Amino acid sequence: MTTTSQAGIRNYLLVTLAYWAFTITDGAIHMLVVLHFHNLGFKPLDIAFLFLFYEVFGIITNGVGGYIGARLGLNTTMFLGMVLQILALTMLAVDPSWLSIPYIMSFMALSGIAKDLNKMSAKSSVKLMVPDGEESDSRLFKMVALLTGSKNSLKGAGFFLGGLLLALWGFQIALLTLAGGLLITMILTSWLLPKEMGKAKSSLKFKQLFSKTPQINRLSAARFFLFGSRDVWFTVALPVFFAEQLGWSHTQVGTFLALWVVGYGVVQAIAPGLLRGKQKDHGPDGRTAQLWAFLLILFPAGIALALTQGFNPATAIVVGLGLFGAVFAINSSVHSFLILLYSDRDTVAMNVGFYYMANAAGRLTGTVLSGGVYQLYGLQGCLWTSVAFITAAALISMTLPDHNKWQEIRQKIAPAD
């Protein structure tokens, strides 16, 4: 059986470290912006629009960033993302009189560009650290699940840190502290990674960005609806509901959401162990994505029905959100593996960039709907919108190939790799 080289493991650990540091700042800046501007009297829809350009530019960045990463190397796009995040954090820590809505939206856009450059680079690089072939698919699944899961656990830590720093030191000092920590990490890791990591050996044309195989197009469409289904009630509606309806403090909101994301990340990291059986040797396939998407529908629907029937809202949401998070985490891990499985080494950055364009578009749609639907129909309206999105993701997942079909496809395209 093929194994991952010592250099591959070293690079994997370095990429993971850089990704971890960035993720903490990404989670913290979200919590800081939501809670700080809610405290200033912003309405839920107004807060949602602060993240509008964050998601819009994420859509553009994933596509263009994937192309740049394939041409110049993934370390280039990774560290460019870190530089832009440091700039965004610093520029949001200005005198409060500067913080108009257009100003905030502009630098949240910069943060969105940074986040997607960093994420695309880190996820794509995992493909380069594992030998090609069916016998390595299970190892690839374990590595990408660990990277993604640990990242999301640290995003939860970022939520907690954002709420805590806001309570202790205020908005400006919190942002500058995060910028300083990220700068130190960038300096420590930038010179250790290979300079041309992920750079394509063959010449790539920009039009190849939109020339994808059917399985990548379908997986990307499923990803759009999957992440829209989460953010439509998680991004704006849930923190505001906790603060307005349940009377939770900023620190309580940040702590709870942090614990949720940490648990979500833990489940992502151990997903390969949970999906034993037929997937043990080769990893999940299209049938896995379909099964777990249909299962996910039960949880937002169950929470909405519990609220309608007069159950204690705190209990219904806390329990339901925990179950939703566990199943959603497995869905996300399966998707993260499949996009790497469906990609070859030369085009992995472009394929992952395209896939995360769909991810960002889903997050954008979910974020805007989270504020708008909550303002009009409350949390229950957001939950039923989530159900509709998950159903769409499950139906699209039915068109993804199972393991046997994928092996047939892989053999046909192998000469072109």
Amino acid at 347: T
Rounded to the nearest integer, the mean pLDDT of the chain is: 82
How many angstroms separate the CA atoms of 318 and 47, rounded? 23
In this structure, what token pair is assigned to residue 64? Answer: 């263009």
Q: Which of 219, 191, 210 is nearest to 63 (CA)?
A: 210
Q: Give pLDDT tens digits for 363-381.
A: 889 988 888 898 888 999 9
Q: What is the tally of structural domains in the chain?
A: 1
**Reported confidence tier of residue 30, pLDDT bands at 50, 70, 90:** confident
**pLDDT (average), residues 340-358:** 81
202 occurs within a structural domain: no
**325 lies in some domain:** yes
- 157 belongs to a structural domain: yes
Q: Are 28 and 156 in contact (CB under 8 A)?
A: no
Residue with tokens 């960045």: 61
* Helix 214-234 and helix 348-397, axial crossing angle in degrees, nearest 10: 70
Q: For residues 293 and 297, what is the distance between their CA atoms, to the nearest angstrom?
A: 7
333: tokens are 């891990």
pLDDT, average across residues 207-224: 81
Answer yes or no: is 161 within a domain: yes
Whether 1 is in a domain gets the answer no
CATH code at position 232: 1.20.1250.20
204 domain-assigned: no
Question: Can you give the residue range of the structural domain that contains 387?
Answer: 6-197+209-416
In a domain, 63, yes or no: yes
Q: Per the structure block, which two tokens stand in for 139? A: 């190892």
DSSP-assigned letter for residue 256: H
| Tokens describing residue 224 | 């759009």
Q: What pTM was estimated for this model as a whole?
A: 0.77
Cα–Cα distance for residue pair 228/337, rounded to 1 Å? 19
For residue range 71-95, list pLDDT tens digits in order. 777 777 888 889 999 999 999 888 8
Distance from C-alpha of 175 to C-alpha of 111, rounded to nearest angstrom: 12
Q: Return the sign of the alpha-carbon dihedral for residues 402, 404, 409, 413.
A: positive
Task: Determine, yes or no, domain membership for 203.
Answer: no
CA distances from 318 to 125, 311, 321, 325, 328 (A): 36, 12, 5, 10, 15
On the question of pLDDT at 309 being above 70, the answer is yes
